[in-house]
Amino acid sequence: MCASRTVGRATKGLMSTILLVDDDPLQAYLCKSLLERKFTDVRRVADAAEALCLVEQPQFAGGLGLVISGHHMPGIGGPAFVEELHTRMPSLPVLVLGDAHEKPADYAGERIRFLYRPVANEEMLSVAGQLLRQDGHKAS
C-alpha cells in the first residue's frame, strides 16, 4: 500500500510537505515531532519504496518540498534511493542524515545536503528551512 502513515496539521511555518523516510519508529517519531515544531505538513513513510510510490501521485508530488532520509534503509540504500528520487523529481531537495562512518561524497548534487547524526535540533530545522526556501517554498 502506498499511503502515508501520518497526516499534516494546520498551517504554520513554510508551506510545503516534508517527507520523512525512516524505518526506525522511535527515530521517526522524534524527528517528526521536532520538524512539526516549525513545519506544517510532515509525513512519514517507513521505506524508500513507499516514498517513491507517494512521489508518483501527482497531488502529493505537487506539494512536496523536501525529503529527509537516513543513509541506511531496508531494500534500497540511501544513495540509490536519492538517485532514483531525482530521476522522478530532479529539483527536489533532499536532506540525508548519516552516521559517522558514512560518506557525504556518496551524495552528489546541489540539492542534496548530508548531515552527520546525531544532529543538533536547531541545525536540522535550519537546514530544512534553507532547503525549502531554496526550492521556492516561502512562508505565508
CA angle 127, 23, 48 (to 5 degrees): 75
Give strand ranges (E) for the chain.
17-21, 41-45, 64-70, 94-98, 112-116
48, 50, 29, 140: which is closest to 94 by C-alpha? Answer: 48
Q: Report the relative pairing of strands 41-45 and 17-21 from DSSP bridges.
A: parallel
116: domain range? 18-134
How does pLDDT run across 44-84, given as a tens digit for each residue? 999 999 999 999 999 999 999 999 998 777 778 889 999 99
In a domain, 13, yes or no: no
What CATH number does residue 96 fall under? 3.40.50.2300
- Total domains present in the chain: 1
How does pLDDT run across 67-126, given as a tens digit for each residue? 999 877 777 888 999 999 999 999 999 999 988 888 888 888 889 999 998 999 999 999
In a domain, 73, yes or no: yes
**What is the total residue count of the chain?**
140
pTM score over 0.95 = no
In a domain, 56, yes or no: yes
In a domain, 8, yes or no: no
Q: How far apart are CA 102 and CA 79, in angstroms?
A: 11
